[in-house]
Chains A and B, each alone.
Chain A
């Protein structure tokens, strides 16, 4: 009877594992290994399993990942919750130690070398941070919005690893933790924060990218941003403050002012755009603040504040970009935004990776037939630029398939998150989803030339044991927590 009971619990655990996630995971891992083989293929026809080759090593790492994954599934799920903080603190200590004992590899001190094996603790800090954040949110009566100190505690958990990883000079890996903002959003943080971030990025890109020609005496980028600020202002008055009257009056006011400018231009009187926008915005803001006392003031205040901050942000962006950033940093940003062509230094990787992907066509050139891949035109092709191989050898069909698999995996994880009965499970799952969202967006965006070059791997795909194990642990802990969701009785 005892045996049968055991079997039964094992079977139920086995059954309640989310197999769909495992299938998606395996698909990505296997395609990754094949792509790595293609990326390092060099005409001497080494076997895909040869340990001399990246692909052979990667297959070894995959084997070890599966063992790690099975191990995680066999461990009692309560361990993760109970030991979340100790794991987190242990991992922070490891990061600290790494700063001091890691050798300098291309300017970064993030690798711990144990004989032939090197590990990157930053990759393992991801699941530890996720556990800690989940633990925080599952503490008794914790509601993010109830106290400002709750935000503070959450941000501490997020920013400690960021600071330590930045000290290792691994900017890319550090950036990944910013994605946890999605978790905070899901747990109640105001959507305004996300909206502001989107606005900030948009304003920044537009201001920096478009500096010519001048419209009304100001750069066209600045002009566009001013228009956007006005549109966002009116939009917020309508959707956020529900103050249709003020919105309408401001809108009419702008129409009138445009008419005046047009009439003046007929008499050859030019008005400086900056003066026009600033004066009209101040007038509109003053009008809004006078009329806001008829309503709930807080939303109007937020709106007014948002507009003021936007304008200040725009001007400071320009200032910081032109006067604070080093020329090489400016270049890097400009290359990314496409304002300057660069095929040799900064833009070389991106240019070559675009060529490789672009040459793939609809169905690609076929496995091992990618000329750009096999002839090593794209640097880092087995690691951060691995997506090129898919793009060149399997074409549009292959690239889209891979993207769809990632999207399916992320959406599946969000689905898993929402079916958790505990805040711990849910927050942890959202952490996993957030990491993947950021990794996918930045990595693919970089390879296809839409994002700046930030060296972070494509999860499950890129060559490297640390990244693979880090993500495997991250995902399998989620699977283990999810598998036992019904056992919890809260």
Chain B
């Protein structure tokens, strides 16, 4: 047969056609399989259910091993939106005892990008949190009716004592910014808020585990992926032993009820905080579970009592006369005075038309009795002599003065292991140059700082820390509320001594002065038999109202076990509230009970209301 060669060439067209198609398909496969990573993610979310296993959060014990904070189970309703098919909404709502409107609101919240920035229809999302045990049981039974939904077990906090809310803090759901800041968090996780829960979050939270399950096209779980080889078991958070003595803390809170203010008690030898009371306070269990949001808003909005404000370390008060021991130490160290130097006081400090009043006591007066009687004039003269010392510039002298105070823990954050600490305020020369707008200033013009008034501000924690410094005769540890962390050591800053450049002998002088204040001076109430209490009152003037009542002290004098600061706002003389409360706290801690003769005092303090 004759071949038609022109037609034979058409084999190239036909062969070329299929070759072209195959090339197009290969390009398409390249795009799908190599260029497009999206499909891999979708495939994973198709097939894998990454179920997070939450670790148990670390527990908290007090210094005596008593359990303070522990966990209770909580159940969240989770869903993967794209796996959810049309389900019986009414039955769902009935199972959970909620209205359809509520469900709709939960649904809207879940999808709201502001409330839930991590929303994706491919990943597990939290619809409802904190089911009650009964709701959980009912839903668990009927869960098969609602494909795409599952229950996530978590733990929430429970508190053994209604105390120390300001120290313990609480946990809350993570916010958008938390998720942004720390890749550990996923939407719906919890994180510590306020207190130890916040500052020790990395220890407490542990490591989340993950379980990778396979689900088939109908959402049925087909077992673990790769026999669980890619799973990670959670590691529980570390338990904390607090330095807080929960009994003492509770007692302090009782004493402070009805009053605004704070108590800080420190073990001088270690810097461990034994009690940190901020009043008014709140029940920590208010900030747990379903009601948290509502209660939290109520606490935030309580602008009169401000219960969330941790006065022990956030409030900066004028320290008043509790500041005087620092002045005595500085003057002695700077050789402005010796133990024998006496200054005149006839009703106060009078110099160049300026008068700082004082109260009746013998005159002239040296350092120990000045502390005993809390003589304003003595410290004003000392301060004036230091700042206006001949041959020096006031600015240099003031900065030197300030540096001592900074070494003693004033003017900057002490570094306590709790969030939101205030630094207080100690002015330096630059501050006065600015506030006097270049005009001359001298020790005389700024004299009130020497008695803890004027610009000086300090937190009760800083004052308590000063007390510990004097108790130790020359050193202190950064105060802290956590005594031990499970399986690891405390951060170094809490075990390193901080030593101001002041000789030990000067502390002895100051301690003796403070002892005299207790035995025969301003705080005689604190004279507990056999305990050798040293103390210093403070009555801080305050432009907004009645004077603040303050007390600082430690005991026993030569083997100090407790150093304390009590600060009661608008309560008058230091001796009225500060001293009695401080005394009762020390007695309770050192003796374990209140003696019969102090029972009346105790009742009076508990019942007293100052606002």
List residues of chain A with CB under 8 Å of any chain B CB: 43, 182, 185-188, 191, 194, 352, 354-362, 371-372, 375-377, 391-392, 395-396, 399-400, 403-404, 406-407, 410-411, 414, 417-418, 421-423, 430, 433, 437, 440-441, 444-445, 448-450, 490
B98 at the interface (CB under 8 A from A): no
- B25, B26, B46, B47: which has the most chain A beta carbons within 10 Å? B25
Contacts of B10 in A (CB 8 A): 185-186, 191
Determine the distance from Cα of A344 to Cα of B26 in the docked complex, in whole angstroms: 27
Whether A375 touches B214, Cβ cut-off 8 Å, given contacts A396-B29, A400-B26, is yes
B39 at the interface (CB under 8 A from A): yes
Contacts of A185 in B (CB 8 A): 10, 13-14
Contacts of A188 in B (CB 8 A): 4, 7
Contacts of B8 in A (CB 8 A): 418
Whether A450 touches B34, Cβ cut-off 8 Å, given contacts A377-B47, A407-B18, A417-B11, is no
Structural contact, B11 and A186, CB atoms closer than 8 A: yes
Contacts of A444 in B (CB 8 A): 25
Besides A185-B10, A186-B7, A400-B29, 19 more A-B contacts (Cβ < 8 Å) are A352-B217, A355-B39, A357-B33, A358-B33, A358-B38, A359-B40, A362-B33, A371-B214, A376-B216, A391-B29, A396-B33, A396-B34, A399-B29, A403-B26, A403-B29, A418-B8, A437-B18, A441-B18, A441-B21
Whether A396 touches B30, Cβ cut-off 8 Å, given contacts A375-B47, A403-B22, A407-B18, is yes
Structural contact, B18 and A440, CB atoms closer than 8 A: yes
Structural contact, B15 and A377, CB atoms closer than 8 A: no
Structural contact, A375 and B18, CB atoms closer than 8 A: no
Structural contact, A372 and B47, CB atoms closer than 8 A: yes
Which residue of B15, B22, B32, B217 is within 8 Å of A375 (Cβ)? B217
B44 at the interface (CB under 8 A from A): yes
B36 at the interface (CB under 8 A from A): yes
User: Considering the complex, which residues of chain B in the window 221-251 have a beta carbon less than 8 Å from any beta carbon of chain A?
Assistant: 222-223, 225
B298 at the interface (CB under 8 A from A): no
B546 at the interface (CB under 8 A from A): no
Determine the distance from Cα of A88 to Cα of B1 in the docked complex, in whole angstroms: 25
Structural contact, B33 and A395, CB atoms closer than 8 A: yes
Determine the distance from Cα of A433 to Cα of B40 in the docked complex, in whole angstroms: 35
Determine the distance from Cα of A358 to Cα of B32 in the docked complex, in whole angstroms: 5
Structural contact, A403 and B25, CB atoms closer than 8 A: yes
Closest to A358 in B: B39
B43 at the interface (CB under 8 A from A): yes
Determine the distance from Cα of A441 to Cα of B24 in the docked complex, in whole angstroms: 10
Which residue of A352, A359, A417, A448 is within 8 Å of B28 (Cβ)? A448
- A186, A358, A391: which has the most chain B beta carbons within 10 Å? A358
Total A-B residue contacts, Cβ distance less than 8 Å: 131
Which residue of B14, B19, B28, B217 is within 8 Å of A186 (Cβ)? B14
Contacts of B42 in A (CB 8 A): 355, 358-359
Structural contact, B32 and A448, CB atoms closer than 8 A: yes
Whether A450 touches B25, Cβ cut-off 8 Å, given contacts A391-B33, A418-B11, is yes
Whether A182 touches B14, Cβ cut-off 8 Å, given contacts A375-B214, A407-B19, is yes
B402 at the interface (CB under 8 A from A): no
Determine the distance from Cα of A475 to Cα of B326 in the docked complex, in whole angstroms: 105
Against A, the Cβ 8 Å flags (1 = close, 0 = not) of B203-218 are 0000000000011110
List residues of chain B with CB under 8 Å of any chain A CB: 1, 4, 7-8, 10-11, 13-15, 17-19, 21-22, 24-26, 28-30, 32-34, 36, 38-40, 42-44, 46-48, 214-217, 222-223, 225
Determine the distance from Cα of A407 to Cα of B223 in the docked complex, in whole angstroms: 40
Structural contact, A377 and B14, CB atoms closer than 8 A: no
Give, as a whole number of angstroms, the nearest-CB distance from B215 to chain A.
7
Structural contact, B40 and A358, CB atoms closer than 8 A: yes
Closest to A356 in B: B43
Structural contact, A407 and B22, CB atoms closer than 8 A: yes
- B1, B26, B47: which has the most chain A beta carbons within 10 Å? B47
Whether A362 touches B40, Cβ cut-off 8 Å, given contacts A407-B19, A440-B18, is no
Determine the distance from Cα of A414 to Cα of B18 in the docked complex, in whole angstroms: 11
Give, as a whole number of angstroms, the nearest-CB distance from B4 to chain A.
7
Structural contact, B39 and A354, CB atoms closer than 8 A: yes
- A355, A362, A433: which has the most chain B beta carbons within 10 Å? A355
Determine the distance from Cα of A190 to Cα of B109 in the docked complex, in whole angstroms: 66
Which residue of B11, B32, B47 is within 8 Å of A371 (Cβ)? B47
Give, as a whole number of angstroms, the nearest-CB distance from A84 to chain B.
18
Structural contact, A377 and B33, CB atoms closer than 8 A: no
Which residue of B15, B25, B47 is within 8 Å of A445 (Cβ)? B25
Determine the distance from Cα of A194 to Cα of B47 in the docked complex, in whole angstroms: 44
Structural contact, B1 and A490, CB atoms closer than 8 A: yes
Instruction: Identify 8 residue pairs between A and B in the complex whose beta-carbon atoms are under 8 Å apart, listed by A's number.
Output: A188-B4, A191-B10, A356-B43, A371-B225, A372-B46, A396-B29, A417-B11, A418-B11
Closest to A187 in B: B7
Contacts of A418 in B (CB 8 A): 8, 11
Give, as a whole number of angstroms, the nearest-CB distance from B557 to chain A.
74
Closest to A343 in B: B82
Contacts of A450 in B (CB 8 A): 24-25, 28
Contacts of B19 in A (CB 8 A): 407, 411
Determine the distance from Cα of A406 to Cα of B25 in the docked complex, in whole angstroms: 12
Structural contact, A437 and B34, CB atoms closer than 8 A: no
Give, as a whole number of angstroms, the nearest-CB distance from A374 to chain B.
8
Closest to B6 in A: A188
Q: Which 3 A-B pairs have the closest CB atoms?
A: A358-B39, A359-B43, A371-B47
Structural contact, B46 and A355, CB atoms closer than 8 A: yes
Structural contact, B36 and A358, CB atoms closer than 8 A: yes
Closest to B24 in A: A450
Contacts of B1 in A (CB 8 A): 421-423, 490
Determine the distance from Cα of A360 to Cα of B24 in the docked complex, in whole angstroms: 19
Give, as a whole number of angstroms, the nearest-CB distance from B456 to chain A.
68
Determine the distance from Cα of A403 to Cα of B28 in the docked complex, in whole angstroms: 12
Determine the distance from Cα of A182 to Cα of B21 in the docked complex, in whole angstroms: 15
Determine the distance from Cα of A181 to Cα of B30 in the docked complex, in whole angstroms: 31
Structural contact, B29 and A414, CB atoms closer than 8 A: no
Structural contact, B216 and A414, CB atoms closer than 8 A: no
Whether A191 touches B13, Cβ cut-off 8 Å, given contacts A358-B33, A360-B33, A400-B29, is yes
Structural contact, B222 and A361, CB atoms closer than 8 A: no
Contacts of B40 in A (CB 8 A): 358-359, 361
Structural contact, B32 and A410, CB atoms closer than 8 A: no
Contacts of A406 in B (CB 8 A): 22
Determine the distance from Cα of A185 to Cα of B47 in the docked complex, in whole angstroms: 48
Determine the distance from Cα of A404 to Cα of B25 in the docked complex, in whole angstroms: 11
Closest to A418 in B: B11
Contacts of B14 in A (CB 8 A): 182, 185-186, 414, 430, 433, 437
Determine the distance from Cα of A191 to Cα of B16 in the docked complex, in whole angstroms: 14
Determine the distance from Cα of A246 to Cα of B198 in the docked complex, in whole angstroms: 85
Structural contact, B18 and A377, CB atoms closer than 8 A: no
Closest to B47 in A: A371
Closest to B10 in A: A186
Contacts of B47 in A (CB 8 A): 371-372, 375, 377
Give, as a whole number of angstroms, the nearest-CB distance from A136 to chain B.
15
Closest to A417 in B: B11
Structural contact, B29 and A359, CB atoms closer than 8 A: no
Structural contact, B15 and A411, CB atoms closer than 8 A: yes
Which residue of A43, A355, A403, A449 is within 8 Å of B222 (Cβ)? A43
Determine the distance from Cα of A375 to Cα of B34 in the docked complex, in whole angstroms: 22
Whether A354 touches B32, Cβ cut-off 8 Å, given contacts A186-B11, A191-B13, A407-B18, is yes
Contacts of A356 in B (CB 8 A): 43
